[in-house]
Structure 1
Amino acid sequence: MNHVPTPDGTRSFVVIGETNLARRVCASLREDEHAVLHLTQPRDEDLHAALSPEPTGIAVLLHEDAAALRYALALAHISTGIPIVVTIFDRTMADELLRLLPQCDVTSPADLVAPALAGPCVDVAIAALYRQGPLTRAVRVSGTDVRAEHWTPERVQWRSRLDRLTGQPHDAGARLMLAGMAGMLAALLGDWAWLTSLGHPAAEALFDAARVVATVGPAAAPPHSSAYQVVASVLMLSTIVFSAMFTAGVVDRMLGPQLVGLIGPRTVPRSGHVIVVGTGQVGLRLCGELRRLGVPVVGVDRDPHAPNARLARSLGIPVLVGHGGDRAVLERLHLNRARALAAVGSDDLDNIAVAITAHGVSPGTRIVLRAGEHEAIAETRSLLPLGTIRDVTSLAAAYVLARLLGKPAIGVVAHRHGIFVESHGESFTAWPLAARKGCLHIDVAASA
């Protein structure tokens, strides 16, 4: 392992990780003629060698939070004065690391990209949308002019409030439970109406109808009413089926993850909402950002037992279990009345498949597409007709580079193929990036 010699007037950096983000940061630093030592899985002795002589800055860019935490602690132990930029997805772990190591700049690509995704989900003319204290700021780009302005959330319509009280069953357990309940109620009301029409007092008729639904039979059948006896027998036999359906639905709801509610904030909205396909780190942060902005949102995930799906439940975000590229799922989520669909899964190809299906189901619905894992996909202009593209890797790389070079970056925004770094005072600076193939330290074929 040899250090790259430092040219005159340049600085030296250490990049740790074999992710696309690490390759992008390494390539951009090399393009600016900085010396870069890129390590993939260094051992302790490699870290000691990398910090002698001390570099200008270190970037720890990994997918696994535990590994990133270990490297950050080890680097801080070796040298307490070198600035370190670390990407950690878990917010609790990130806050604790920042408390322990003040020289660390801890960030998450999911947190960085959430405002850039939320903007076009709400309005195609907004590049980014985020909360700043009690206010909401919208970033708009016109040519080279980038400005942030106050944004007033739309008032919640009465229909959106009504949706919370009239949720639809979107899972098999809920449908079974409601179908069984509806069947038993229909049997109860039908029997009660029959008895009251024959002159029975209302209370007595209700008592006998309840006995029929409980499958114990009426207290006494009306005289000369063989028809009622037949109907009561049919109702009792039917109630056995309805009660079994109701019990199965209740058990499924109690034992299942319960990601969608029947009433309350976790009901699936019917109009003016954003459908977020993929509730990974990026998808969950986007759902939370939209919820804070007052925009109705519903997530879609294939795995009902995913950790983030359970976390979404605790945050009051409804998550429908299904494939975002399934036409039936999109129709059940009222895509034609949605504000936008955001395909933000970790696989670019899956996101494209979801976008194509959504465009076929509802051509007029706005689509926001996450890219960045496949560079050819992220950069091609042929995807523009599918919707607004946000390259997560480019946004995170611009922020990491700005912090490594000592720029007071607080966020990043994207517009078309341009990346802008936001500094204090709402100033924005265009930040060009090199292609990740400019990193020669990792085999391109192995990391593609």
Structure 2
Amino acid sequence: MVVCGDDALAERLAAELRVLYRTQVTIVVPAVRPAGTARPDTGGRIRAAALISRVQAAMNRAAPAVADSLAGTAPRVMEAPVLDEEALTEAGVTRADALALVHDDDETNIRAALAARRLNPRLRLVIRLYDRKLGQHLAQLLDQAAALAQPGLDPDALDTSTTVLSDADTAAPALAATAVAGTSKVVQADGLLLRAAERTPPGRGEVADPGLCTLALLSATYNDPAGTEGSDASGQDGPLLLPDDATVTAATGRGTVVLDTVTHAGPHPAPRRLAGRGLPLRSLFSRRLRWSLAGLVLCVLGLALATWATTERHPLSAAYLTLLDLFAIDDPAIGEPASRQVLQLLTGLAGLLLLPVLLAAALEAFGTFRTASALRRPPRGLSGHVVLLGLGKVGSRVLARLHELGIPVVCVEENPEARGIPLARRLRVPTLIGDVRDEGVLEAAKIRRAHALLALTSHDTTNLEAALYARSLKPDLRVSLRLYDDAFATAVYRTLRAAHPRALTRSRSVSTLAAPSFAGAMMGRQILGAIPVERKVLLFAALDVAGHPQLEGRTVTESFRPGAWRVLAIDSTAPGDRRPDLAASPDEDAPAAPPGLVWNLHPGYVLRPSDRVVLAATRHGLAELLAPRPRTDSGAATP
């Protein structure tokens, strides 16, 4: 396996491949020295040694016992001034099984992908791209190039030859789910949202709700404010993933993570809008102005009724006479009864009051249309919302996810040119431009009445400072932090949990959440998403049954291996009509199609080779399913 990149995702991806899948890994990083220089590469050697040290630390965090057995076999690290064909050839792309391009620059990844496809048409490519549409077109182009370079190859074998992923898209469901009441984890599959929820231990006489199935047993110290997330004083090391029914029944007093509901994904219906501007009709005039207009209308109506009653005119004539008086274009009521004169004076006064109201309405309408494309301010009386800090790559994806779930959001962003600002403007999400560390910014975001805080900026200290200040304003606030360093995240988590035992605190790393999906895609299967369970990760994958003796010809019950994998659903769509990427969001312009996944499977259903299943798996379980099988002398796979 070849990994090109030098950030946290590349480090954790290399550790994932080395520890869980036991593959040989080469990491290609940008060169420190200028290209073409002949000076000794002292800085490059120091940088390579530091990268190897960080990868080894990530391996220890992923699986200490396995990492100890692999001591001294760290991945190979090489530097390349330019990621061209020469550098890729030196890295071994021509004989590699898979190449992951995880640079933060989309253009660099695209150039390298095109060069790698020319060097090795059979290479499995995993590309990190932020632009979804561009990623789809690029995957089609590279698959077509691979097919033309190999005329005799079955096209079905190319389904996973190119996989385009985004670390922001992969981590966004887990980050957004921490802010959703009653839902702790979310993964998308075939236009559906798989919602996993944490359940507290049932009391005496109560029956636990297993949902569709139990995904994990939480550690015994999970709800202990002084405990460490992922540790268990009783000797159980962390949570127990994918337990069987007997284990769940015997584990009294421990919380569970269950697959709770399956609901349709997609944006909520947009409110009625003015044509051509995307402006809500109710925001054309302010509430105070609408009440003023309504009061004047009732006043004129009352004057018209009084004129009709006192002059014995026809109702339409009385209304017309009132309007003439209102606009001061009727003759004075000289010599007429006193009641008529009084009504004319009152109507003229109402006309004087109408003029400033009409002027205010015109000015408000003009100002509203001018600011139709501007960012909204948090409305008065807003409560129960989520305060989202940071609208970069990750923040904008989380904002889109929260909007799909119908969760009210107030965004705070320091940079007015941030990537997510246009999205917030289009979705009409209240957004504040300012530094969250400045006094009054969080108060303006209504943090005292908020339900949760998502601190997703790229600076750990900013996220921590915002979380601490928000907790000082509202001690029971639900907080989720994006932190880079795992050790720092653990220390922050334990301290905040001990200081605020009644408040929910989570620390998440985008690279940690995304690395399993990238690693699984490099092994050749489509990963739908990852669900964090304390400090572990549970993967959801779409897998063809054919070629997997652990699944093929077995019933749903027989295929279940506790602690490794569990079949959750079967794709009932015909093989030729199946969506190639179940994790992708449905196209808004395409006609709505019924989901093809069937849930609540019968335990006796026999899995056929033509079936495609959705399963939950641990990282070790998925690695076992995807591991290459040894062959006998006759060429058959060893059972």
TM over 0.5: yes
Q: Is the 8 A contact 1:341 1:365 kept in 2?
A: yes
Q: 1:37 Cα deviation (Å)? A: 3.1
Q: 1:320 Cα deviation (Å)? A: 0.8
Aligned to 1:352: 464
**Structure with greater Cα Rg:** 2
Q: 1:109 Cα deviation (Å)? A: 0.9
Task: Give 1:60's match in structure 2, choosing from 101, 108, 111.
Answer: 101
Q: Is the 8 A contact 1:174 1:249 kept in 2?
A: no
Task: Give 1:130's match in structure 2, choosing from 175, 180, 187.
Answer: 187
Q: 1:392 Cα deviation (Å)? A: 0.6
Distance 2:381 2:108 in 1: 39
Unmatched runs of 5 consecutive residues or more in structure 2:
19-51, 57-69, 144-160, 197-214, 220-238, 243-256, 273-279, 333-339, 543-614, 622-639
User: How many pairs were matched up?
Assistant: 392
Q: 1:98 Cα deviation (Å)? A: 2.3
Greater mean alpha carbon deviation, residues 99-108 or residues 130-139: 130-139
Q: Give the counterpart letter for 1:394 in structure 2.
A: T
Q: Of the two structures, which has the highest relative contact order with CA contacts closer than 8 Å and spacing of 6 or more?
A: 1
Aligned to 2:240: 145
Greater mean alpha carbon deviation, residues 47-56 or residues 91-100: 47-56
Quick one: structure 1 residues 136 and 400, their matched pair in 2 at CA, closer, same or farther if it must change by over 3 Å? closer
Unmatched runs of 5 consecutive residues or more in structure 1:
1-12, 156-160, 166-170, 262-266, 432-448
Task: Give 1:81's match in structure 2, choosing from 122, 125, 134.
Answer: 122
Q: Give the counterpart letter for 1:115 in structure 2.
A: P
Secondary structure at 2:173 match in 1: helix
Q: Deviations over 1:204-256 (max 9, x none)?
A: 6766776788xx446456525686377346414523541343233332244x2
Secondary structure at 1:152 match in 2: strand
Quick one: structure 1 residues 195 and 80, their matched pair in 2 at CA, closer, same or farther if it must change by over 3 Å? same
Matching of residues 96-107 of structure 1 within 5 Å: 96-102=137-143, 103-107=161-165
Secondary structure at 1:426 match in 2: strand
Q: 1:377 Cα deviation (Å)? A: 4.4
Q: 1:129 Cα deviation (Å)? A: 1.9
Task: Give 2:132's match in structure 1, choosing from 82, 91, 107.
Answer: 91
> Are 1:17 and 2:5 matched, yes or no?
yes
Greater mean alpha carbon deviation, residues 219-228 or residues 412-421: 219-228
Aligned to 2:368: 250
Q: Give the counterpart letter for 2:10 in structure 1.
A: A
Quick one: structure 1 residues 137 and 39, their matched pair in 2 at CA, closer, same or farther if it must change by over 3 Å? farther
Quick one: structure 1 residues 371 and 188, their matched pair in 2 at CA, closer, same or farther if it must change by over 3 Å? same
Distance 2:188 2:381 in 1: 23
Q: Deviations over 1:10-33 (max 9, x none)?
A: xxx433234332244356655352
Aligned to 1:282: 394
> Are 1:389 and 2:507 matched, yes or no?
yes
Task: Give 2:87's match in structure 1, choosing from 33, 46, 51.
Answer: 46
Quick one: structure 1 residues 26 and 186, their matched pair in 2 at CA, closer, same or farther if it must change by over 3 Å? same
Aligned to 2:483: 371
Aligned to 1:298: 409
Quick one: structure 1 residues 323 and 356, their matched pair in 2 at CA, closer, same or farther if it must change by over 3 Å? farther
> Are 1:36 and 2:76 matched, yes or no?
yes
Distance 1:297 1:40 in 2: 46
Matching of residues 78-227 of structure 1 within 5 Å: 78-102=119-143, 103-123=161-181, 128-133=185-190, 134=192, 136-138=194-196, 140-143=216-219, 144-147=239-242, 149-152=258-261, 174=283, 177-194=286-303, 196-197=305-306, 199=309, 216-217=327-328, 219=330, 223-224=341-342
Q: 1:180 Cα deviation (Å)? A: 4.2
Aligned to 1:343: 455
Q: 1:47 Cα deviation (Å)? A: 3.0
Greater mean alpha carbon deviation, residues 303-312 or residues 39-48: 303-312
Distance 2:399 2:118 in 1: 37
Note the aligned Cα RMSD (angstroms): 4.5
Q: Is the 8 A contact 1:269 1:297 kept in 2?
A: no
Secondary structure at 2:481 match in 1: strand
Secondary structure at 1:121 match in 2: coil
Q: Is the 8 A contact 2:187 2:530 kept in 1?
A: no
Quick one: structure 1 residues 79 and 295, their matched pair in 2 at CA, closer, same or farther if it must change by over 3 Å? same
Quick one: structure 1 residues 364 and 35, their matched pair in 2 at CA, closer, same or farther if it must change by over 3 Å? closer
Q: Give the counterpart letter for 1:111 in structure 2.
A: D
Q: 1:81 Cα deviation (Å)? A: 2.7
Secondary structure at 1:345 match in 2: coil
> Are 1:429 and 2:538 matched, yes or no?
no
Q: Is the 8 A contact 2:284 2:365 kept in 1?
A: no
Distance 2:140 2:115 in 1: 16
Aligned to 1:322: 432
Secondary structure at 1:101 match in 2: helix
Distance 1:141 1:268 in 2: 42
Q: 1:55 Cα deviation (Å)? A: 4.0
Secondary structure at 1:80 match in 2: coil
Distance 1:232 1:153 in 2: 58
TM-score, normalisation: structure 2: 0.51
Aligned to 1:443: none
Q: Give the counterpart letter for 1:50 in structure 2.
A: A
Q: State the identity %.
A: 22
Distance 1:152 1:268 in 2: 33
Q: Give the counterpart letter for 1:319 in structure 2.
A: V
Q: Give the counterpart letter for 1:117 in structure 2.
A: L
Distance 1:243 1:250 in 2: 10
Aligned to 1:380: 491
Q: 1:281 Cα deviation (Å)? A: 3.3
Quick one: structure 1 residues 210 and 223, their matched pair in 2 at CA, closer, same or farther if it must change by over 3 Å? closer
Q: Is the 8 A contact 1:269 1:296 kept in 2?
A: no
Greater mean alpha carbon deviation, residues 396-405 or residues 96-105: 396-405
Q: Give the counterpart letter for 1:189 in structure 2.
A: L
TM-score, normalisation: structure 1: 0.69
Distance 2:90 2:129 in 1: 25
Secondary structure at 1:81 match in 2: coil
Q: 1:376 Cα deviation (Å)? A: 6.1
Task: Give 2:346's match in structure 1, choosing from 228, 231, 236.
Answer: 228
Secondary structure at 2:529 match in 1: strand
Q: Deviations over 1:100-140 (max 9, x none)?
A: 3342332111221123224332357x652223345634155
Q: 1:68 Cα deviation (Å)? A: 1.9
